[in-house]
Structure 1
Amino acid sequence: MRNRLPELRRERRWSQETLASMLGVSRQTIISIEKGRFDPSLPLAFQIAGVFDLTIEDIFTPDAAKAAPLSAPIRPSLGAPRSHSEGFPREKASIL
């Protein structure tokens, strides 16, 4: 995932150590996020957005090269129950 952390830190004149301290993480974590070696957890991403007073989307963008395209459209799974013949032997389907 791409991010704007180095740019945003420089604008505020914060070191990696300063940002790490504000977030309660190690400087190495900040380095790894900035270099794209580590994607932050959702709670950490929200915390990062909070210290910069921005949205997560303002800071992080998906890396298009790494994003896997969907092979088929996603369809809702709520609907009529499946018959016994759809992938389960009759005796196992009755357990379900």
Structure 2
Amino acid sequence: MFGENFRRFRTQAGLSQEAVAVRMGVDRAHVSSMERGQQNVTLLTMWLAAQALGVKPADLLNEDFEVGGDLAEPEGSPPP
């Protein structure tokens, strides 16, 4: 979940893995492994990732995002 959301927010922001890595103070390979789910992240790393992307840390764990899409509509919500 974290990796998918992390990649989606990064691409929506038009940022490369390298740019996010610089903002976080980590190596680009670390960003890549987080996006692929091969790296367990600490709370500090999650906070740094959120700061680098300009989102809330909870957004990176949001299960309501569709892969490659936007927020899923909550049940009972009127259409946009």
With structure 2 as the length reference, what TM-score do the two structures score?
A: 0.67
Alignment of 1:18-57 (within 5 A): 18-57=19-58
Q: Please identify, of 3-12 and 18-27, the stretch whose mean Cα deviation from structure 2 is larger.
A: 3-12
Larger radius of gyration: 1
Aligned residues: 61
Change over 3 Å in CA distance of 1:32–1:61 after alignment to 2: farther
Q: Which structure has the highest helix share of the two? A: 2
Taking only the aligned residue pairs, the percentage that are identical comes to 23
Q: Which structure has the highest strand share of the two? A: 1
Shift of 1:20: 0.4
Give the RMSD, CA atoms, in angstroms: 1.6
- Whether 1:12 aligns to 2:48 is no
Q: Is the 8 A contact 2:20 2:53 kept in 1?
A: no
- Residues 61-80 of structure 1: CA distance to partner in whole angstroms, max 9, x if unpaired? 58xxxxxxxxxxxxxxxxxx
Q: Which runs of at least 4 in structure 1 moved beyond 6 Å after TM superposition? A: none
